[in-house]
Amino acid sequence: MDSKISQREQWTSKLGFILAAVGSAVGLGNLWGFAYRASQGGGAAFVLLYVLIVLIVCLPVFVAELALGKNAMASSLLAPVKLGGTNWSPLGVLFFLAPIGILSYYSVIMGWAADTFFHSLLFGLPKDLSEAKEFFGSVSSGSSVLLGHSLSLVLTALIVSSGVKRGIEKITKSFMPILFIILFMLTIWAGSLSGAWEGYQTFLFKFDFDQLKNPTTIRNAFSQAFFSLSLGIGIMVAYGSYLSKKSNLPKLSFGVASLDTLVGLMAGLITFPIFLTFGLSDSISDSTIGALFISIPTGLGSAGILGRIVAIAFFGLVYIAAITSSVSLLEVPVSSLMDKFRFDRNKSVWLVAIFVFILGIPSALDTNTLGTFDSVCNILLIFGGFLVTFFMGWVVPKKLDSEIDVSKVGVKTARYLKFMTKWICPPLIAFGFLISLFDLLKGWLS
């Protein structure tokens, strides 16, 4: 047997995989990203498009990525080459570089979250909006942001260096239940606010059908769906490669995607009542990137000691969600280096972490740069999603077939998934990609 295959770690159980994959999916995207994109004017149309994209487009992409990793039993860098030949090495390179790009600013936002958490815990919340903006300004610049960025990376690196089972799986197993409990409690609390109903309506029912045609809303919905599910850049390829032979990929994908979308919607059910109860709707749309870090402390700041406790719980939640995602972002390049150059885990982890730290400095020093990084990486995710479905649907369709076990999923589901991967996903994602690219370039040129 190939020694590399026999050395490959495996998840200890199905639950271990699901929690790790949900841990990767549920993160800043659901909390910070959702609030930030939903506040850019798309309203309920954005939410609807996002959910549709998850159901129609992202589920087959999810299965395709897992199938690619599980079939190749290789890291994301090497898997496309192993199945499709050297012509496909650029896809492996995309899988290697894009997570590094995302992690470089992801850990900066983790730093903001940690700062806000400690500030709420030790000093309390801002008195009003201007104080909150000032506070966000101090969190997102200067030496404290570099400290947050580096500490978050070190923490992520320590977990990843312990390995798949002892690091990633263990941390997600203990953190995910805590996350769900905090999320649940916050959702109930937000539902008791005076502006709760108005918040739900704005978020879920205020349709402006013209928004469905707005390129920015379309870009936001595609970005949100891919980013939130950790799709398009090989995360699920890596996680799939640690699955056992018997796994039922469609069922796992469906489970992870539903949980992630549920968390995204719950985050909306928390943030929107807060925005509307404390009259923050206008302030969020003009400070998009910092929306979460400005409006939540402002809103809760006017709710006394209970508000402060909720803020501590909320930013603790943000950080827990983020760390189980950042480990997945680091795992992909790390396992690729291990596979390709036979580096040991520790060496790969610290090499990548140092590189990511340096790459993240511009984002740490300037929130606009961070926004640009985020937009570019999101376009890469969509492009990656296109390539993955094209690859599995057209280049190596037999491999996809062999990973969708008809005896487990039934003939209809198997047929549906293969059809979608081949005929529906590539053109739909290509459409989403072109609109997003056009919208991004338009924004830059204007």
Binding status of residue 381 toward ligand TRP by CB under 6 A: yes
Number of residues lying near ligand TRP (CB under 6 A): 17
Of residues 78 and 98, the one with the C-beta less far from ligand TRP: 98
- Helix, strand, coil percentages (3-state) for the chain, rounded to 5, are 85, 0, 15
Binding status of residue 230 toward ligand TRP by CB under 6 A: yes
What CA–CA distance (Å, rounded) separates 212 from 46? 7
Binding status of residue 156 toward ligand TRP by CB under 6 A: no
Q: Minimal distance in Å, beta carbon 29 to ligand TRP?
A: 2
What CA–CA distance (Å, rounded) separates 304 from 270? 18
Q: Which stretch binds ligand TRP (CB under 6 A): 88-96, 136-144, 230-238, 269-277?
A: 230-238
Q: Which stretch binds ligand TRP (CB under 6 A): 66-74, 165-173, 222-230, 305-313?
A: 222-230
Helix ranges, 73-214 (H): 79-84, 89-122, 129-139, 142-161, 170-191, 196-200
Q: What is the DSSP letter of 420?
A: I
> If you search the block for the tokens 């937009």, which residue do you land on?
375
Binding status of residue 235 toward ligand TRP by CB under 6 A: yes
Binding status of residue 227 toward ligand TRP by CB under 6 A: yes
What CA–CA distance (Å, rounded) separates 167 from 197? 41
Binding status of residue 135 toward ligand TRP by CB under 6 A: no
- From its phi and psi, is residue 85 left (phi > 0), alpha (psi between -120 and 50) or beta? left
A 10 A CB-CB count for 197 gives: 12
* Pair of tokens at residue 271: 């943030």
Q: Minimal distance in Å, beta carbon 414 to ligand TRP?
A: 26
170 in helix, strand or coil? helix
Q: Minimal distance in Å, beta carbon 46 to ligand TRP?
A: 16
* Pair of tokens at residue 397: 């369709």
Q: Which stretch binds ligand TRP (CB under 6 A): 22-30, 113-121, 158-166, 173-181?
A: 22-30
What CA–CA distance (Å, rounded) separates 261 from 62? 14
Binding status of residue 338 toward ligand TRP by CB under 6 A: no
Distance of CA 339 to the CA centre of its chain: 24
Binding status of residue 152 toward ligand TRP by CB under 6 A: no
237-265 per-residue burial string, b: 16 or more CB within 10 A, e: under 16: bbbbbbbeeebbbbebbbbbbebbbebbb
Of residues 259 and 276, the one with the C-beta less far from ligand TRP: 259
Q: Which stretch binds ligand TRP (CB under 6 A): 27-35, 44-52, 114-122, 161-169?
A: 27-35
Q: Which stretch binds ligand TRP (CB under 6 A): 25-33, 170-178, 183-191, 205-213?
A: 25-33
Q: Minimal distance in Å, beta carbon 236 to ligand TRP?
A: 9
- Which of 107, 116, 223, 228 binds ligand TRP (CB under 6 A)? It is 228
Give the chain's count of helices (H) and strands (E).
Answer: 24, 0
Binding status of residue 389 toward ligand TRP by CB under 6 A: no
Binding status of residue 328 toward ligand TRP by CB under 6 A: yes
Binding status of residue 43 toward ligand TRP by CB under 6 A: no
Of residues 92 and 307, the one with the C-beta less far from ligand TRP: 92
Of residues 269 and 381, the one with the C-beta less far from ligand TRP: 381
Binding status of residue 179 toward ligand TRP by CB under 6 A: no
* Pair of tokens at residue 163: 């390995």
Q: Exposed/middle/buried for 411, CB within 10 Å: 0-12, 13-18, 19+?
A: exposed
Half-sphere exposure of 74 (CA within 13 A, CB side): 19
* Pair of tokens at residue 235: 């995360």
Closest residue by Cα to residue 383 from 426, 422, 421: 426
Of residues 61 and 243, the one with the C-beta less far from ligand TRP: 61
* Pair of tokens at residue 306: 């209970």
Q: Which stretch binds ligand TRP (CB under 6 A): 146-154, 195-203, 214-222, 322-330?
A: 322-330
What CA–CA distance (Å, rounded) separates 446 from 441? 9
DSSP string, 54-108: IIIIIHHHHHHHHHHHHHHTS-TTTHHHHHH-GGGHHHHHHHHHHHHHHHHHHHH
- Which of 44, 233, 313, 428 binds ligand TRP (CB under 6 A)? It is 233
Q: Minimal distance in Å, beta carbon 7 to ligand TRP?
A: 24
Binding status of residue 325 toward ligand TRP by CB under 6 A: yes
- Which of 102, 249, 280, 310 binds ligand TRP (CB under 6 A)? It is 102
Binding status of residue 329 toward ligand TRP by CB under 6 A: yes
Contact residues for ligand TRP (CB under 6 A)?
24-25, 27-30, 99, 102, 227-228, 230, 233, 235, 325, 328-329, 381
